Amino acid sequence: MTSTAFFGLLGAGTGLGMWLIVTGWRGTMPGRPERRLHQLWQRDPRRVVTAVGVGVIGGVLTGWPVGVVLIAGAVWSLPRLLAREKEHTRQLERVEAIAGWAELMRDTLAAATGLEQAILASAEVAPEPIEAEVTNLAMRLETGHRLAPSLQKLSDELADPAADLVISVLLLAATRQARNLSELLGSLAAAAREVASMRQRIETSRAGTRTSVRIIVGATGVLVGGMLVFSRDYLVAYDTVTGQLVLLGIGSVFAVGLVALGKFAAVDQPARFLALEGGRMP
């Protein structure tokens, strides 16, 4: 690749990247209160910095402008793609904890305790995966917050369909007269455990796909890394402008394939019906 063409491509890529960053930060939809890139930065700034930093370093070491994009994208997406089992385990533990909390509330209410008093008592022995959220609920009640908005906040913090089922019953009891509340909580706890069991069966059936994803990513990474270190001459063709475009196409196809495999291996959760919309319950 000639130096003029190389720096021209590098400048064009830099300009395009800056434009995308500014556009994403400011937002392209007028009047939109929250910007996607800004939310991304607020949610995980360390991950953003790591992906961009590693991408830039990789681009400098390889001399490929396209390498910045591909490496940054890999650093951003692969850890989460390859760590789906941990996320699924965490979700299962949370569903089991929600079922345990529902049973705890059922037993406490059976002792003729009021709903707020039952919540305060349950916070002391809440299951560990949801202990922080239930403790926050109890603290809100102790500081004078009303029960219904506090339960709505708990639903948003847990962000789980199983939790929505339990909290919807508690909301009915808080805002209207709910009969047989203890029996309802017991039934919902049993339903939550059935959901956890079903998710576990689905997870077992899709474990092979996740293993295939790890093998493909590992083998490709070892092959590319070995060629960059031990057989750099073999990759000289990618130093041209045409080679960079070909590399971008190859990387895009590989990324689409990994995303598709990740979708096949993922276990989709049902939609939440107590999700906040604009700060209010639907």
Mark out the alpha helices in the chain (DSSP H runs). 3-26, 36-43, 45-62, 65-82, 84-110, 115-123, 131-142, 147-158, 161-175, 181-205, 207-230, 241-265
Packing angle, helices 207-230 and 84-110, rounded to 10: 150
Residues comprising the chain, all counted: 282
Average pLDDT over residues 65-74: 88
Q: How many CA atoms lie within 13 A of 228 on its CB side?
A: 16
The pLDDT, as a whole number, for residue 140 is 93
pTM for the model: 0.62
Domain regions of the chain by residue span: 1-43, 47-83+211-268, 92-204
Number of C-beta neighbours around residue 141 at 10 A: 19
Q: CA angle, corner 43, sides to 196 and 129, nearest 5?
A: 30
Rounded Cα–Cα distance for residues 213 and 262 (Å):
8
If pLDDT is split at 50, 70 and 90, which confidence band does 115 have?
confident
Rounded Cα–Cα distance for residues 78 and 90 (Å):
19
Q: What is the pLDDT of residues 262-274, one digit of tens each?
A: 777 666 667 777 7
Q: Which of 149, 193, 200, 194 is nearest to 170 (CA)?
A: 149
Beta-bridged to residue 277, according to DSSP, are: 280
